[in-house]
Amino acid sequence: MSWIVTGGAGYIGSHVVRALADAGLAPVIIDDLSSGEASFAPADVPFVRGSILDRDLVERTLREHDAEGVIHVAGFKYAGVSVQRPLHTYAQNVEGTRILLEAMEAAGVANIVFSSSAAVFGTPDVPLVVEDTAKKPASPYGESKLIGEWLLRDQAVATADSERPLRHTSLRYFNVVGSADPAVYDVSPHNLFPIVFEALIEGRTPKIFGDDYDTPDGTNVRDYVHVGDIAAAHVAAAQRLAGGQSIEPAYNLGSGDGLSVKQIMDAVARVTGIDFTPEIGPRRPGDPDRIVATGELAARDLDWRMRYSVDDMVRTGWEARRRAS
């Protein structure tokens, strides 16, 4: 039996694929390479190139590879861009998830781990986000992820009395960084680490947007979590579903304390050996002072731990990016 990984050629998805293989599970990738990289897919893992919007392809893949479950990572992940492209965002993230669930039901596949997002919370007014913190998404991207969670919930209710009721969980995470394989790096043009790395590679000075926030050093505080830990949590969730163990409908994969942008910049200078003083720019509209989540539930059920220091996060990400140059 296999585990299908949608978006398995992306930055996060390809780490999940590697973690599944290391755990003795049999991953199979579905990816249309709209944002993934073919080179990120391990050569010994079956690769089906195509979109999750193609119901026939998805159902055929589930049947041909005797799928035990799905880890659903595919999606349009750019929150800011989603404001300009809401229809595309909903097509990829909402309709894509609906079609996937439809194909799973037809193929008799009843386990799914959904890659959700901290964007479902929007700008929370609490210092520490927990699973039942109010959901107030502030972008079509965040809304689409919350609707994805609702789709899983509703399909589980609808199939509860069937022969194969849907079993599911959603993993919400924040700023994913680093690399657990030097062949894979974050290619997003919108994330902090690649933005800073590209600036340094091109000889530019990285920028901090605002240094007058209500935080210890004046810069935003966020959860930064290593992609290797994120991948491990997906595998643990898949194993829990496959083993018939109880599982929560959602888990926050948070650090519990967070790191400031200045702390990240200091670590980048320290690890890379490139001495720089970040430029200070104006605040970006809507940027809250602090967003940090607890990971207590995930620690209890999914062996969630922060196995990497901030220097490890920077070092692994920097080495993978430099190798790609």
- Digit-coded pLDDT (tens) for 42-52: 999 999 999 99
Say if residues 109 and 70 touch (Cβ distance below 8 Å). yes
- Distance (Å, rounded) from C-alpha 234 to C-alpha 139? 25
- Digit-coded pLDDT (tens) for 56-93: 999 999 999 999 999 999 999 988 899 999 999 999 99
* Residue of 11, 78, 90, 141 marked active site: 141
pLDDT exceeds cutoff 80 at 287? no
Query: Integer distance in angstroms from the first to the last C-alpha of the chain?
Result: 38
141 carries an active-site annotation: yes
- Distance (Å, rounded) from C-alpha 127 to C-alpha 216? 14
HSE toward the beta carbon, residue 188, CA cutoff 13 A: 19
- Distance (Å, rounded) from C-alpha 210 to C-alpha 320? 29
The beta-strand segments (E) located in 95-166 are 111-115
pLDDT exceeds cutoff 70 at 286? no
pLDDT band at 306 (very low <50, low <70, confident <90, very high): very high
Domain ranges of the chain: 2-175+224-253, 177-223+255-291+300-324
Please tell me the CATH superfamily of domain 177-223+255-291+300-324, with its number: UDP-galactose 4-epimerase, domain 1 (3.90.25.10)
- Digit-coded pLDDT (tens) for 106-131: 999 999 999 999 999 998 888 899 99
pLDDT band at 294 (very low <50, low <70, confident <90, very high): very high
What pLDDT is recorded for position 80? 84
pTM as predicted: 0.96
CATH topology identical between 2-175+224-253 and 177-223+255-291+300-324: no
Question: Which CATH class for the 2-175+224-253 domain?
Answer: alpha beta
Both tokens of 129, joined, read 């986000």
